Amino acid sequence: MDRYDHTALTQWTAEVLQAAGISEPHASVASPLLVRTSLRGIDAHGISRIPVYLQRIAAGEITSNDPQSEWRDGALHVDGGGALGQVAATFAVDQVVQATEKVATAACVIENCGHLSALGIFALQAAEQGRVALVCQRTPAVMGLPGSPRANIGNNPLAFAAPERGETPLVFDMANSVAARGRIQQAARDNAPIPDDWAVGEDGQPTTEAAAALLGYLRPMSGYKGIGLAMMVEVLTSGLAGWPALAGDAP
């Protein structure tokens, strides 16, 4: 396996994003977060996402617009303006952390931004500033229970982080599927098999072929318990938040 210095890789990532049309300030926010995600062992949500980001930048789906926000109905509402998810989420975390200087808890809703990548990174940002954070995201329908003819709910991830005095913050980050879709996408790129309990193909049968899994749907972790947690995230991020739009795509 080839190894690269993380500082050089961060600089390279920023330069690639800028060459594609992303502003220097936005690239300087996103690139270290993508590299840090890979360094934490979650490469399927780290720099391996760059090719997809470049496609979306070229298509005009990701921009260098600065996120905008307003406090309304007791919550911070952030419009990402089509910016990279790392930019919009960091912007949101900074404002919510500032708000909790005066109040015990603060809620935030993000819409209209690029792929958020690993949610734990943003919970970690808050924990490193002395806050306890819960971050969750609604995704497109990619998951279903065995026997379902198609995907009928997102694998709606959630992340939790808390500071520990004198220690590295506690971080927990999970999708509600047996495996995140990003890991299956990575396996498809590597032409590698996947365990037969990860996903179901178009024929409704468990599959070990990653490409077939991407055409079917993911299986929930712990059966109905995974579906239940996904429904909880769905309610928090769409029903209570009041936003029908999806922030980014499936993890």
pLDDT digits (tens, 9 = 90+) for 182-234: 899 989 999 999 999 999 999 989 999 999 999 999 999 998 999 999 999 99
Strands (E), the chain: 68-72, 75-79, 107-111, 133-136, 158-164, 167-174, 199-200, 217-218
Quick one: what percent of the chain has pLDDT higher than 90?
81
The fold of the 6-58 domain, in CATH, is Hypothetical Oxidoreductase Yiak; Chain: A, domain 1 (1.10.1530)
Per-residue b/e over 26-39, b at no fewer than 16 CB within 10 Å? Answer: bbbbbbbbbbbbbe
Mean pLDDT, range 125-151, rounded to an integer: 93
What is the per-residue pLDDT for 241? Answer: 65
Per-residue pLDDT reduced to its tens digit, 42-74: 888 999 999 999 999 999 999 999 999 999 988
What is the per-residue pLDDT for 210? Answer: 96
User: Distance between CA atoms of 207 and 185, rounded to whole angstroms?
Assistant: 14
Q: Using 50, 70 and 90 to split pLDDT, how confident is the model at 243? A: low
What is the per-residue pLDDT for 247? Answer: 45
In angstroms, the first-to-last Cα distance of the chain is 25
Lowest mean pLDDT among 12-16, 110-114, 126-130, 240-244: 240-244
Inter-helix orientation angle 50-58/6-19, to 10°: 20
What is the per-residue pLDDT for 251? Answer: 53
Greater model confidence, 57 or 145: 57
User: Distance between CA atoms of 36 and 24, rounded to whole angstroms?
Assistant: 18
- Whole-number average pLDDT of the chain: 92
Instruction: Count how many Cα atoms sit within 13 Å of the Cα of residue 217 in the half-sphere of its side chain.
Output: 22
The β-bridge partners of 69 are: 78
The β-bridge partners of 110 are: 78
Catalytic (active-site) positions: 115
What is the per-residue pLDDT for 250? Answer: 52
Mean pLDDT, range 242-250, rounded to an integer: 52
Per-residue b/e over 158-186, b at no fewer than 16 CB within 10 Å? Answer: bbbbbbeeeeebebebbbbbbbbbbbbbb
Q: Domain locations in the chain?
A: 6-58
What is the per-residue pLDDT for 248? Answer: 47
Q: Check if the beta carbon of residue 92 is closer than 8 Å to that of residue 108.
A: yes
